[in-house]
Amino acid sequence: MRNHIVLFLIFASLFNLAKAQENEKPVVKWYGYINYESIFDSYESVTTRDAELYLFPSRKGDNNTNGQLEMLALQSRLGVNVKGPMVLGAQSSGKIEGDFFGTSEDYKNLFRIRHAFMKLKWDKASLLMGQYWHPMFGPEVFPRVVAFGAAAIYNPLNRAPQIRFDYNLTPGFRATFAALGHGYHFSKGPTSDINGGIDASDDQRDAAVPDMQVQLLAGKKKGFQVGITAGYMMLEPRVETNDGLNDNTIGTYNFNAFAKYSTGRFTAQAKFSYGQNMSQYVMLGGYGRLLSDTLEVNDFGYTPYKIFSVWGELAYKPNDNLQVGIFGGLTGNLGTEEKVDLDNTYTRGGSISQLLRVSPRITYTINHFRFGFEYIYNAADYGTDDPDEYGVFDETEQSVNHRIILAARYFF
């Protein structure tokens, strides 16, 4: 009889615990910041969102040397973190975050989703479903510059709907597997510059194959971290022809390697990226019709541009409030994989040979305020002759822009 009473008490306790977990309400915590920037450019440049996101200086021209000044607040951000109950033996959580950057130039100052995901975390593994950073961006190692976009065009920039599985093989070694679909970070293509690019994500959707990525990361946040990312993506450009649609696809790969060393008040980090196309990461790249298929009306294929990028950054904090840093980046066009029809290409910076950026900065943080100053030297080498059959230029001329940013941010 006594044993039955003990068993009853045990089962009653377990039932009450399970019931309590079922009724446990998620804990919601809001966060965000209000952002202000004053931006001066000495030279006309290729930008978006009222020059908030900077890409590169324009080609030399008669009217390009007129200075420009912008004042912006559209980077202001609002988010919510959610901590939920245990689900299937895992800690549940979620995040929704947005800003006023918009999804294209036509929708600037409108609220857009940056992140929106749910997550289950076990002792050694986690499962994420929703919109989050693309593994090529890598939140562990990215430039901490003042300018918006984390040094985009040198560092891959992409957030995408995905299902992602992380597994910690050891406490300092993580493997990531992700399948992604493109949202507003889409590849250049026949529809990418039409109607704000609304239909551009169809190119990846119609291929019916997700963007597949694998990442390995070793090390600790405080100390040395090193990792690699590799992936493969397919597009079906759907170029309209005289007799209908060309349903040929183009497959491209990407790769990067990154490292970070952090000790005390000093941080050094760097990343090397290489791949085909790469335009979906707000980088140079794209693709074009095969030169050998120029005369084909319906059944023609494509060839991608090969792109490289490398950047490094040093940062130092003399005290808890002040930080100084410097960023340097180089990216360039290595030409197409096969001979390309130059009259039928879809690229970002297709007339550019390479880009260079150097940007020293200083920030001061006190209470919930941060003030920042950054000077950015941007140089673009444009081809002056006709490119060869692989889209490579022999001779170039350089355009240079000097950008100065004064920024203030109030965190809450």
* Token pair of 21 as six digits: 């977990």
Q: Give pLDDT, residue 62.
A: 65
Does residue 12 sit in helix, strand or coil?
helix
CA 241 – CA 77 distance, rounded (Å)? 43
CB 124 within 8 A of CB 167: yes
CB 129 within 8 A of CB 118: yes
Strand (E) or helix (H) holding 17: helix 2-23
Q: In terms of Cα–Cα distance, which of 230, 153, 144, 146 is closest to 185?
A: 153
Does residue 192 sit in helix, strand or coil?
coil
Q: Give pLDDT, residue 197.
A: 64
Residues 6+ apart with CB under 8 A from 47: 53, 54, 55
CB 156 within 8 A of CB 273: yes
Q: How far is CA 100 from CA 34, 76, 183, 372, in A?
A: 11, 6, 17, 20
Q: Give pLDDT, residue 245.
A: 72
Q: Give pLDDT, residue 53.
A: 97
Q: How far is CA 91 from CA 128, 216, 283, in A?
A: 12, 23, 36
Max Cα–Cα distance, the chain, nearest Å: 98
CA 264 – CA 409 distance, rounded (Å)? 25
Residues 6+ apart with CB under 8 A from 8: none
Does residue 318 sit in helix, strand or coil?
coil
Q: Which residues pair with 272 in a beta bridge?
A: 257, 310
Q: In terms of Cα–Cα distance, which of 72, 94, 98 is closest to 83?
A: 94
Q: Give pLDDT, residue 199.
A: 66
Q: In terms of Cα–Cα distance, which of 241, 229, 254, 365 is closest to 307?
A: 254
Strand 90-99 vs strand 302-316: parallel, antiparallel, or unpaired? Answer: unpaired
CB 35 within 8 A of CB 409: yes
Buried b (16+ CB within 10 A) or exposed e, 274-294: bbbbbbbbbbbbbbbbbbebe
Across the 412 residues of the chain, what is the mean pLDDT of every consecutive 10-residue run?
Answer: 45 45 81 98 95 95 85 97 96 97 91 97 98 97 97 97 97 97 90 68 88 97 95 89 78 98 96 97 97 88 97 97 98 97 95 98 97 98 95 96 98 97
Q: In terms of Cα–Cα distance, which of 24, 56, 52 is closest to 43?
A: 56
Q: Give pLDDT, residue 158.
A: 97
Question: Tokens 């000077």 correspond to what residue?
Answer: 375
CA 112 – CA 93 distance, rounded (Å)? 21
CA 84 – CA 204 distance, rounded (Å)? 34
Q: Give pLDDT, residue 18.
A: 44
Q: Give pLDDT, residue 190.
A: 86
